[in-house]
Structure 1
Amino acid sequence: MAVISTYTSSQKLLHWALFALVILLYALTYGEDLLPRGDPTVDAIWRLHISFGLLLAALVLWRVTLRGIRGAPNFPPGMTGLERAAAKAGHFILYALLIAIPILGILLTWFRGDALSFFGLFTIPAPFAPDRATARTIRELHSLCANGILIAAGLHALAALYHHFVRRDAILARMLPGNRAG
């Protein structure tokens, strides 16, 4: 088995693009909450949230596919079994949330009775009738997962910083743009 020491350029691009999209989607959600009900800007923010959420779904699919094809760099020497297990569990949680959030967002949109629109380029109508009770439940799950990804991503970042500044290994460097360390 070949030793892989860094992620590919496309994997790095997707990693940072997904990070930026998650932050943007969270900001759009909170921006919407600052406006009064009925403000036309709220509808525009909602449409942007849906469009960027669909983009997130597509990029997550691409990221998961690349991870399946190319794998991930090997763990550096010196990582304990517990650290390796924690890293694998953390990545599993991040991927699970990145998959669940867009799926829940799509279902939420449809159960609200809205069509999915990707920046006005195409529209996918709801395949079923609106259901407010189901929409409320899905919204709670969507919000819970969105908060969960912020926590998981925060722990992920702290672990990377720990490896960089305390352990002084290449964990963080292998995801930084331009790093071709072998």
Structure 2
Amino acid sequence: MPARHSTLQIVLHWTMAAVIAAAWLLGSLLEDLARGPDRAAGLGVHVLLGLGVLALLLPRLIARLAGPTLPPEPGETRWEHRLAAAAHLALYALMLLVPLAGLATALSARAPVPVLGLFDLPNPLAGLGQRKLFEGAHELLANLLLGVVVLHVLATLYHAVIRRDGVAGRMIPWLHQP
């Protein structure tokens, strides 16, 4: 039976999952909104969510490195182990790159970006004329993140429903069987 991740790792995992899902959904909805106060408010929330992902990423990496080293999955082949490691590396890389590309997009806007009246993001990159490039990179990376998350969820379902090896219980506490 696989060991369980630490409580801190589990809390950070699910908090980041919720923040990333909210940011992705809101970003998708923003594409359909006309310019105006609703879009500006939505963009402010989207920016805060992206900054939240960045703020949570370092503690998550530290918790993962400092947390328990889990044993290999029962019956796991070498290619399954490598695929899982590559998927996790892709998730972590995209959790960094997506918000950074979004931040570059905001910093390259024609005017400072207001964030819910809390503060304005300055626009020091506006003179570069690269906003469309940053925006395209942000959207592409966000969709790549969605794809890797879907694969991650499918792998979890595979372990929970087909293999029934307890691996899903590592991060889903109510599935954990001591």
Q: State the TM-score, normalizing by the size of structure 1.
A: 0.86
Give the equivalent residue in structure 1 for 2:26: 28
Q: What is the CA-CA distance between 1:82 and the residue it aligns to?
A: 0.8
Give the equivalent residue in structure 2 for 1:80: 77
The question of 1:150 aligning with 2:149 is answered no
Whether contact under 8 Å (2:104, 2:125) holds in the other structure is no
Whether contact under 8 Å (1:112, 1:131) holds in the other structure is no
CA distance in structure 1 between the aligned counterparts of 2:76 and 2:124, rounded to whole angstroms? 48
Q: Aligned to 2:167, what secondary structure does the other structure show?
A: coil
Q: State the TM-score, normalizing by the size of structure 2.
A: 0.88
Give the equivalent residue in structure 2 for 1:55: 52
Q: What is the CA-CA distance between 1:12 and the residue it aligns to?
A: 0.6
Q: Compared with structure 1, are the counterparts of its residues 60 and 144 closer, same or farther at alpha carbon in structure 2 (3 Å cutoff)?
A: same
Q: What is the CA-CA distance between 1:90 and the residue it aligns to?
A: 0.6
The question of 1:91 aligning with 2:88 is answered yes
Give the equivalent residue in structure 1 for 2:173: 177
Q: Compared with structure 1, are the counterparts of its residues 155 and 180 closer, same or farther at alpha carbon in structure 2 (3 Å cutoff)?
A: closer
The question of 1:108 aligning with 2:105 is answered yes
Whether contact under 8 Å (1:51, 1:117) holds in the other structure is no
Gap regions ≥5 residues in structure 2: none
CA-to-aligned-CA distance 1:95-125 (integer Å, 9 cap, x gap) = 1100111111111111124546665445553
CA-to-aligned-CA distance 1:16-52 (integer Å, 9 cap, x gap) = 111111111112112222322x321001111111111
The equivalent position to 1:12 in structure 2, one of 10, 18, 33, is: 10
The count of aligned residue pairs is: 178
Letter in 2 for 1:146: A
Q: What is the CA-CA distance between 1:8 and the residue it aligns to?
A: 0.8
CA distance in structure 1 between the aligned counterparts of 2:69 and 2:114, rounded to whole angstroms? 34
Identity in percent:
31
CA distance in structure 2 between the aligned counterparts of 1:78 and 1:30, rounded to whole angstroms? 39
CA distance in structure 2 between the aligned counterparts of 1:154 and 1:53, rounded to whole angstroms? 19
CA distance in structure 2 between the aligned counterparts of 1:55 and 1:102, rounded to whole angstroms? 9
Gap regions ≥5 residues in structure 1: none
Instruction: Point out 4+ residue stretches in structure 1 off by more than 6 angstroms.
Output: none
The equivalent position to 1:138 in structure 2, one of 118, 134, 153, is: 134
Give the equivalent residue in structure 2 for 1:167: 163
Give the equivalent residue in structure 1 for 2:40: 43
Give the equivalent residue in structure 1 for 2:67: 70
Q: Compared with structure 1, are the counterparts of its residues 116 and 6 closer, same or farther at alpha carbon in structure 2 (3 Å cutoff)?
A: farther
